[in-house]
Chains A and B, each alone.
Chain A
């Protein structure tokens, strides 16, 4: 960095030109504080002179106060100094650090702590190009080394540095180094890591960090910084792969322009290229690659671009644009590896949202085929996955998606799972391959029950049972209520005279027996619909307590909400929208509730509203508020 410092002072413009052309490398460091990980990162930041004077001053003061290095700078304090975490015990998942050298800019993902290690490491590694796996030379290959290596391999990192640290504590002994490397290679092969560079280090003393150490004359490989500065980033492989663009957002400033924006996942694209849109399979040709700096002749993997096509084809967010002669496969059933990231376990059969690229779909997961012990790589039987567990599962989506196996493309094969009720990101996964029809998922192990159906809809099912005199306002309020619930995204169904009398109960008249049977059938249908996970709203006079009790008994105790629309008879009769009261008074209608048939008012309904005093809107508001109180809706 001293060259750079000189250049900054003498010719800033030359320095800026140099800096402008630096490439970017993202890496993750794996190891515990005991392995000297914080010291290693602190040393890289320090040596790259990425620390400012006030930070240095603070660190020097901190080193004197808390440092473990007897007054010398304690590099670990550079990265461990998160006051809030120290005090409040907040777990961080990943911290990102930044430094650059003459060659490159680096982003380091650091995953502190032992807890939540799998979740954190998978998160940090998902954006890393390479990994640095730390080993304490005194302790050799440990269980955690195996775990880190497995996770690194799982997430698709191909190049790894085995940083054998604390060589100063084993007298820079070549034999120790060689033994560890030999041990490690056996294991690395098992998890499929091939490109491994082992470096003997002392992060604390600086051996082989920036410069070849005189204390390890037997080592002729690269220094850690030397390796980081020159290791190949996987960009070229991505550029050589077939063209894939997940459509992120359609840009329509006016009727004459339709641009399809997104980040090119792989390959290259030029105006004139023939393309196919998946999953629809339609084809078109790239007209322009539009940018604020003028049209571009070429875009490559990783670029965020805006394309226009020559034809008016239907393309929307979530579609994948690809080369016409090499489109991605399309499927809706997959085998995948799943990493569970939530305190709440993964339930087979529950529907989760799956986000892959720019597409979000519903996904059902089967019982895991097995889960993997990350320490031993053993495959274990499992009924579900809990936090930090990894397993192999089958997925069934509610529609087809364009994809690539994760090993081919992180962008086209990596996905997250989102809980539909809490909206939390609960899992991350990697598509392995599509299942053929012969391997179709069988869900017979999964109990599809009321809870599962309700969870799928993200709601608590129940019956909202309106009762009251003819003309009291039941149907009006019920309609308003259904509209409100629907607007909130609830799945509802309204049962009333209109849709029941003409079909299901066409055979029933208005005798007392028929009216009882009418309500019995409505209660039965409402019960089935609750079992289907719906919020059912009924609007019937339902004058008899006994029948309402049957309806209440048909569902669970907390699933029945009785609403008495308690409008006085004189008010209802005055309204007489359908002219029924007049007919009844004239004797043309028999058994009319309130006239020649009794109405048994509920004794203890969940809610009572009187539409003589309030409007139907206000009554609907009251019902919504009561449903919230009862915890039926959030």
Chain B
């Protein structure tokens, strides 16, 4: 009897989730509400059934997510019986950091990168699950499943450990922490197919619908609330759009699409073949920017 590739991936991810819970003192799951987070949370439900996942969910909030995302977040925490922790960087809040005045780089760094470090320090988590995949971007191809961070959250390439078989070394000193990526070996197609097969709830923004949109520098931006700053001459118009990735709404580029079912989304993805992160504007600010962000502590 042969298991399918998805069954093997699922078994591997569950193994990783359980290993962290068995070996770490205070794990947490980074929950960013996107499809990869949804998949990871679903795997956690399966791994620990009939117990609820034995760790809290942590949402490092920027206050600029789509409203649909906040609704999904609260719903999933309720349905899974998991504790939800929301962290909003108090300094970013005090300074009113936003994508319009400060640009995507400062906005993301302050709310997300700094916010994440603050949250991990505040709660004293020693292991944090993240939904990153190796196929997302070339520089992630070499990322380990267990990624070690110093007590300053720095990623030191020389301190990373070889990963043989399915033996993960989770030992660390006080203050050090691990980022763990249980779905490292999944591709974008695997994630979508799994969501389809397992009927995993995802944010409606992934499905095409008429939404108020402005076009800016060739990017379609959705006007999700009244904080969106229209430039002179800009007027939101309803267009049938959807999102391939979700983040802060002023930084998430939409695509025009009629795909309103999962098979249609997958079909569109396979035929369009524009790689996933292109929709995320944070990657375009600097070349090799993911690599830099990682060293600074971003996922």
Q: Which residues of A contact B (CB under 8 A)?
A: 5, 8-9, 12-13, 15-16, 19-24, 49, 51-55, 81-84, 87-88, 90-98, 100, 104-105, 107, 110, 119-120, 122-123, 126-127, 233, 235-236, 239, 248-249, 251-253, 257, 259, 261-263, 290-292, 300, 302-304, 306, 317, 341, 353, 355-358, 410-411, 414-416, 418, 423-425, 428, 634
Contacts and interface: CB of A to CB of B under 8 A. Distances in A.
Given A12-B267, A19-B189, A415 B167 contact: yes
Contacts of B14: 263, 304
A418 B164 contact: no
Nearest to A416: B167
Contacts of A87: 288
Interface stretch (B5-13, B124-132, B207-215): B5-13
A236 B1 CA distance: 7
A142 to B, nearest CB: 25
A112 to B, nearest CB: 9
B95 interface: no
B275 interface: yes
24 contacts: A15-B270, A16-B263, A20-B4, A21-B4, A22-B5, A23-B2, A24-B4, A49-B273, A53-B274, A54-B275, A55-B275, A104-B5, A105-B187, A122-B164, A123-B162, A123-B164, A235-B2, A263-B11, A300-B3, A304-B10, A304-B12, A304-B15, A358-B19, A428-B164
B273 A52 contact: yes
B166 interface: yes
A290 B47 CA distance: 11
B78 interface: no
Given A19-B189, A23-B5, A291-B46, A83 B288 contact: yes
Interface in B70-110: none
Given A82-B142, A423-B173, 19 more contacts: A8-B271, A19-B189, A23-B3, A52-B273, A84-B139, A88-B157, A92-B142, A93-B142, A105-B5, A127-B165, A236-B2, A248-B18, A248-B19, A249-B22, A253-B51, A292-B45, A303-B3, A304-B15, A634-B173
Nearest to A13: B263
Nearest to A86: B288
B135 interface: yes
Nearest to A125: B164
A598 to B, nearest CB: 44
| Chain B interface category by residue count | 35 or more
B141 interface: yes
Contact of A8 (B157, B160, B267): B267
A53 B273 contact: yes
Nearest to A358: B22
B270 A8 contact: yes
A340 B293 CA distance: 32
Contacts of B275: 52-55
A487 B183 CA distance: 35
Nearest to B275: A52
Contact of B2 (A54, A100, A233, A410): A233
A355 B6 contact: no
Contacts of A251: 48, 50-51
Nearest to B22: A249
A54 B255 CA distance: 15
A131 B139 CA distance: 24
> Taking chain B's interface residues, is the majority helix, strand, or loop, or is none over half, making it mixed?
helix
A425 B162 contact: yes
Contacts of B271: 5, 8-9
Nearest to A84: B291
Contacts of B228: none
Contacts of B152: none
Nearest to B187: A98
A54 B278 contact: yes
Contacts of B163: 123
A83 B46 contact: no
Contacts of B164: 122-123, 126-127, 414, 416, 425, 428
A412 to B, nearest CB: 11
Interface string B6-33: 1111111011001101100000000000
A317 to B, nearest CB: 6
Interface in B237-264: 263-264
B161 interface: yes
Residue from B7, B12, B50, B162 having most chain A Cβ neighbours under 10 A? B162
Given A20-B4, A93-B142, A410 B287 contact: no
B197 A411 contact: no
A245 B156 CA distance: 35
A110 B173 CA distance: 31
Contacts of A96: 134, 141-142, 184-185
A3 to B, nearest CB: 13
A239 B3 CA distance: 11
Contacts of A355: 167, 169
Nearest to B52: A253
Contacts of A8: 267, 270-271
B142 A95 contact: yes
A555 B47 CA distance: 53
Contacts of B50: 251, 253, 257, 259, 290
A257 B49 CA distance: 11
B1 A239 contact: yes
B117 to A, nearest CB: 21
Contact of B49 (A12, A97, A292): A292
B173 A16 contact: no
Interface string B162-185: 111111010111000000000011
B167 A81 contact: no
A242 B171 CA distance: 31
B203 interface: no
Contacts of A263: 11, 14-15, 166
A605 B274 CA distance: 70
Name the 7 nearest CB pairs between A and B, nearest first. A52-B275, A24-B5, A83-B288, A304-B14, A12-B267, A292-B49, A253-B51
Contacts of B187: 98, 100, 105
Contacts of A356: 167
B266 interface: yes
Contacts of B46: 291-292
B229 interface: no
A584 to B, nearest CB: 46
Contacts of B22: 248-249, 317, 358
A93 B3 CA distance: 29
